[in-house]
Structure 1
């Protein structure tokens, strides 16, 4: 071999991978950078010596190796290994083929000392050794497998023989019992005693036979040994079991009686009276679940319900009272199911929070008839302009504020005065400490005034009468006081206990006297609360904000609500992500009697729901889910369970009564609730108003699909439909109507329900402008730089400002310009500058909606 041999060539010659050869060279103390590097003869000899040392050979052996050249021969030899069979099983001997492959290298004489040849010889011997080991392992595995098969066959034959012997012994025992009298009975011969020489003779022989039993030599010849002859391979437990079984064969009746007693203890006893079960029933339960608890078929429970006059299916939900009646009719006892573990844990959680009570601010609710000056009075106290931003100049949802006055902190709740907002006023009366009833001096006592008095008396809340608008020329406070006497509201000057303050919300006259009256009443009530610990309270109002998610306005009644608290609110739960006061400023916490907006709930809670702060999210989630299930069951009970007389009445009215389906969406939960109740209350014998869907937030595609499927009219109260919903509405011809004043909604639906012809006032949107940027002008204030994206914007028409599809302001245009010129209108895809009158909070991304009101003659 030449001196220019590389590592790659050397690896091919010795039949070794290049990587392994590099490792061996490195272990021998020689470092090479790559497989193409040249290996010298000295390095080869050094590697050979290292390999011999690693295999336990001496250095002198290198001198005896002669490999000037080589001839490689590959040989293979096939060998057969015969394994003997099993004569009992009838299996013959088996043959296993073993192939041994050899690789022989022959060295030519006269070439001694070649390192390559010596290393090749070493690798050859190692390969032969590995092949021999593999062949031996294959032969050993074959022998082990054959041995395992022989053992399995032997065990199978032994088991079969034992089973045959057991069957023969059983048959012989049955024949003996049937043909011979038992020993010890009258008239039966006694067995002769066994002789000693007989036993000796039996023991001397190898085996003896009794019938079909094979007797083993060296074992005493008695009944027990005979019974187990040929079965000595059994374990002690198996022999004992079979012995007891054989002893009981002669007494079948006694054996059957012992088996019955072992299974039931005292044996089966037939019931002599009907079984009465105690059934736990919650507020609602399905018919199938009730049948399962009663251990009856569902059809039997349905049949009993029909007998009681209730039409229900097996999957239908029935209320607690109906389920109790059915259970008692079927002969069982009904008990009320206890509350769930989650509610019990929550109750214990709340009761564990205790502390010292200190003085808290009073919560004051302002009530009264429409346009009697409730919000204006609150505006003067707060020194803000809230009433000017209300649609139609009326409040349409509860407003919550806390005000720092010279008399201390006071929390105010401003309730709507329209008749549709009865539930809002009732909720406000329950949350409050003091009710201020605003009555206009020029208008007197009105229907909503009387209703507010009833709510205050039902809630047992002290009443303060604020006689407003005394600055008007036709004001008559004395007439108001006299009219209130008819409703058991007596002024202090007449000997009663009701404070009455004359004031003017416009000029501020008498407002300080009203604050003094509130402070005096709060001092008399001695209002206290626990400030330390977990907070609890009630939801005043809720809404769905597109950018912030579910938003709930809550009033804290106990404890301190902080950012990061876990709370459960009705069927919703979550962690407080942020708290905002009535001005929109973020606060860190809120104490008792302070209203705040909460962000972070899983959904929009209902107005009037209680909220409680808990320790962890798990408890909050469990309680919310349990309440959701309970509320859903209650709703199913209300929608189902019709009695037969109700269905007959519906069938009688079905020929003449029409149905008007509505889908109502509003900006806040209170307005939606008020609209739904007001509209369903308009039903009469000719037409039934059916609100099939309602919710908070903008009109979505699912709302439009529901309306298209049920042929319903969609009503948007201070909300708008998004692009996907508009496509569905336009494609299916759904009637979509937008409103911002509750009067218009009720009046239009009332006209249709009453079947009265007349002119209908509709609002038609003629153009929409997108706000791109806002500029400040010394003359006009905030000027919105806009692009008209739909229709045309006209200067003489009213507008609304939309933010995330929700109306935030309604008013009129103050200016409309193209560059520096005033114009009357701006068409689509044209830029313009819009100045909104009395509104400076326009932001980029808002939409300015231009509309006009038109009169349309109603037709059938």
Structure 2
């Protein structure tokens, strides 16, 4: 055994700790307290001391006992419940008076003896030792030591086994005792509950009997008077000795005039009296007819073949359902998002969808189960149905991402960043040429038609510092693109030609810059031309509240020449000076945020997006989400096509790896993992698709009755494909603006990239015109176009595309009809003719009267008839026309009420084609 403490040894032996400490000190063992530990040698030393103190020699003290006897005694109590009184059985003895339950003490004694296995060998060795006393003393001592060691080891093992067996038996007895106590408590609880139930039933039965007796006493008038009169006489005729028995019999008999209630117990007693036979046989029949006994095997028990069945506690509740219908209406708190469908709203209120639809019908809304409702409408429906509306916490995937980004904004140090400059101005005022001179490249030579069709993003390393430029197109169709350029920029350079002055697109650029709240720097270009007049330009800019610093304003104005290169350094100085005043800063570390400047679909590289980084650092391999698209940055290139690994604030880069082409102007956010980016992108795509569906549906419902009333509206279906997203949006905006009351421009499909076979098949089914802007159709699409005869047109300049669509729409417009009065005749007299009826003798006052033209008859300057001439005569001759100042006879067709003093007005209708 391992070391034990003094306290544990005292508990095992069964003596007090103080006594054990005294014995240890007497045996020469140092033990300071109850927590001192004792080794095996010290325990054997104590055992030897105790044996010597009881008169045993050293040899006996060292010997182990031959057997160990363990005695255990446990006492438990059994509570015997009181037997329930038996009633209602014919011939049964009276029930004993109830008394408290009897408690019986049960004592269990157990005795186990463990015999030492090595007794025979030990006794044999002892005999051999006694028989060999003639051997030398040294051999006897060695043999004695060996025997002593073996005996001590076996004694230790036997003691350890005995202690473990005793502990196991004690635990087993303790578990049995607890189980018996638990079973006893359960039986007592069941017995108490059964007695309480029987007492309650007895009380209810007694109350019912008392109520019946009281009801019978309230009707004494039902008894006959003769019976009431005879009743006292009969009582008086009885003897004094039998009066008590008579009263007992009267009380047992039912009263006259009262209906006797036969109890089930009485019926049972009567039935058993009729079948009573012999004594022993009667007992068998009597018990077997009872329903509260069941037959069991009597051989194994006490000889009884029948035993009493336990009564069920509440048999009347066994067949009832556990659900209880609520008596009060359930009021629920319904969380309402910004938009919710009718079916989802019904589910959250736990009502049928038909009830929600019926409630909406009452409010004048014709809806279906899949239609979405706004929050205000849903709130009204919820309150009308008796529930409480609660605004839902709309922390969706996008909201959670934006909140996380806002928390991270202040964690990184903001450093100075380069300015982002947008160049704006009218068409052909030299914006791209100016930027071309700064970059020392020839960008303008590659532009179709000499104008910029896309937004270009460049960053330029100059001696003054790094500047990022955004070159936006100057055509009016790209106003939306210019607006996006102003929203992401810090400074706007307004380029105005010195020989042309302020133009409409120049004014739009001023409005965009002012709406974005960015400072403006005016660059007066083309100063090398002889007809340049910068004073006129400055004078025209003052009309739009743009006043130069030379005239006391706050706008810097620089005179430059993109062709000669004059004034470029002064322009860059002005840009950097304005940037220092603005104190432009952005965090360099942390996740990147930016905006999409342009996006396109490359056949070899897939979606390509031009991203302007606004804060943080965009690295290759980052997971980004932009609008409804997401992806991992597989590669990044600068404006010259060089691959780069990272881009800091104010640096535009081209990014590969997105799932699609995002819209120009969408934000770019770096997220932690691709799963989260996919969730945000799918949420945005679903929201955009839903809003587009609602807009189309709303427009169709609003225009339904007007179209039915005015006839079918003419429409021009278009399929537009462009090379980049920005050009596509500009084309769509310009084409949709061509819609008027008679002709509607419908863009059936639009996209970035080449024209495919699916686009051609869609054009066949929708009878649409296909327009390609800087894109071409593939072989399969060309084959479908040739077979079906689809109208396919290619364009590289936006003017030509819009003009052609205008001409197509103009061909569908109804012509413009104008009326012109060419003559006026005054009626002097009316003649009657058998052939022509009433003929008016007239004098031509103005213009000329022609026979084939329509006329109107005016009386007091009011039109009373409109028709045609039947005859026009000059004397007896028919003439085709009569000029002013000449008399003539006029016969009006199908009208005979011409009177003297009327006027006949002759006019002609002219038609001309309508143009947009």
TM-score normalised according to structure 2 size: 0.55
Deviation at 1:653, TM superposition (A): 4.0
**SS of 1:690 mapped into structure 2:** strand
Kept after mapping to 2: 8 A contact 1:311/1:643: no
**SS of 1:352 mapped into structure 2:** helix
Q: Which residue of 1 aligns with 2:344?
A: 289
Q: Which residue of 1 aligns with 2:622?
A: 565
- State the alpha-carbon separation in 1 of the partners of residues 205 and 361 from structure 2: 68
Deviation at 1:301, TM superposition (A): 4.1
- State the alpha-carbon separation in 1 of the partners of residues 208 and 401 from structure 2: 78
- State the alpha-carbon separation in 1 of the partners of residues 507 and 741 from structure 2: 29
C-alpha distance 295-403 of structure 1, shift in aligned 2 (>3 A)? same
Q: Which residue of 2 aligns with 1:593?
A: 650
* 1:704 maps to 2:760: yes
- State the alpha-carbon separation in 1 of the partners of residues 384 and 705 from structure 2: 25
Q: Which residue of 2 aligns with 1:694?
A: 750
Deviation string, structure 1 residues 617-641 (Cα, Å, up to 9, x no partner)? 1211222122222222222222224
Out of 715, 721, 729, the residue aligned to residue 659 of structure 1 is 715
Deviation at 1:596, TM superposition (A): 0.1
Deviation at 1:613, TM superposition (A): 1.2
Matched positions, count: 547
C-alpha distance 524-658 of structure 1, shift in aligned 2 (>3 A)? same
* 1:750 maps to 2:829: no
Kept after mapping to 2: 8 A contact 1:279/1:332: no
- State the alpha-carbon separation in 1 of the partners of residues 439 and 326 from structure 2: 82
Kept after mapping to 2: 8 A contact 1:394/1:416: yes
Q: How does 1:131-530 map to 2 (within 5 A)?
A: 209-211=288-290, 213-216=293-296, 217=298, 225-227=307-309, 243-244=311-312, 247-249=313-315, 252=316, 255=317, 263=322, 268-271=325-328, 275=331, 277-282=333-338, 284-305=339-360, 310-320=365-375, 322-324=377-379, 326-327=381-382, 332-350=387-405, 351-352=407-408, 354-530=411-587
Q: Which residue of 2 aligns with 1:121?
A: none
Kept after mapping to 2: 8 A contact 1:279/1:294: no
**SS of 2:314 mapped into structure 1:** helix
* 1:605 maps to 2:662: yes
Kept after mapping to 1: 8 A contact 2:295/2:305: no
C-alpha distance 314-403 of structure 1, shift in aligned 2 (>3 A)? same
Out of 653, 678, 681, the residue aligned to residue 624 of structure 1 is 681
- State the alpha-carbon separation in 1 of the partners of residues 707 and 392 from structure 2: 35
Task: Tell which has more relative contact order, 1 or 2 (C-alpha 8 A, sep 6+).
Answer: 1
* 1:537 maps to 2:594: yes
* 1:713 maps to 2:792: no
**SS of 1:754 mapped into structure 2:** helix
Q: Which residue of 2 aligns with 1:84?
A: none
Deviation at 1:325, TM superposition (A): 5.3
Deviation at 1:349, TM superposition (A): 3.8
Deviation at 1:259, TM superposition (A): 6.0
Moved more, 611-620 or 214-223: 214-223
Deviation at 1:206, TM superposition (A): 14
- State the alpha-carbon separation in 2 of the partners of residues 296 and 268 from structure 1: 16
**SS of 1:599 mapped into structure 2:** strand
- State the alpha-carbon separation in 1 of the partners of residues 438 and 770 from structure 2: 39
Kept after mapping to 2: 8 A contact 1:672/1:695: yes
TM-score normalised according to structure 1 size: 0.59
- State the alpha-carbon separation in 2 of the partners of residues 602 and 651 from structure 1: 43
Q: Which residue of 1 aligns with 2:725?
A: 669
C-alpha distance 653-433 of structure 1, shift in aligned 2 (>3 A)? farther
Kept after mapping to 1: 8 A contact 2:334/2:348: no
Moved more, 492-501 or 623-632: 623-632
**SS of 2:601 mapped into structure 1:** strand
Deviation at 1:331, TM superposition (A): 5.6
- State the alpha-carbon separation in 1 of the partners of residues 521 and 649 from structure 2: 23
- State the alpha-carbon separation in 2 of the partners of residues 223 and 641 from structure 1: 87
Deviation at 1:396, TM superposition (A): 1.0
Deviation at 1:645, TM superposition (A): 5.1
- State the alpha-carbon separation in 1 of the partners of residues 646 and 535 from structure 2: 46
C-alpha distance 222-587 of structure 1, shift in aligned 2 (>3 A)? same
Deviation at 1:335, TM superposition (A): 4.4
Out of 725, 729, 753, the residue aligned to residue 785 of structure 2 is 729
C-alpha distance 295-600 of structure 1, shift in aligned 2 (>3 A)? same
- State the alpha-carbon separation in 2 of the partners of residues 371 and 327 from structure 1: 61
Cα RMSD for the two superposed structures: 3.6
* Unmatched runs of 5 consecutive residues or more in structure 1: 1-176, 193-199, 229-242, 758-856
Deviation at 1:732, TM superposition (A): 1.4
Deviation at 1:313, TM superposition (A): 3.3
- State the alpha-carbon separation in 2 of the partners of residues 604 and 365 from structure 1: 23
Kept after mapping to 2: 8 A contact 1:317/1:640: no
Q: Which is greater in Rg?
A: 2
Kept after mapping to 1: 8 A contact 2:444/2:450: yes
- State the alpha-carbon separation in 2 of the partners of residues 643 and 309 from structure 1: 19
Deviation at 1:279, TM superposition (A): 3.7
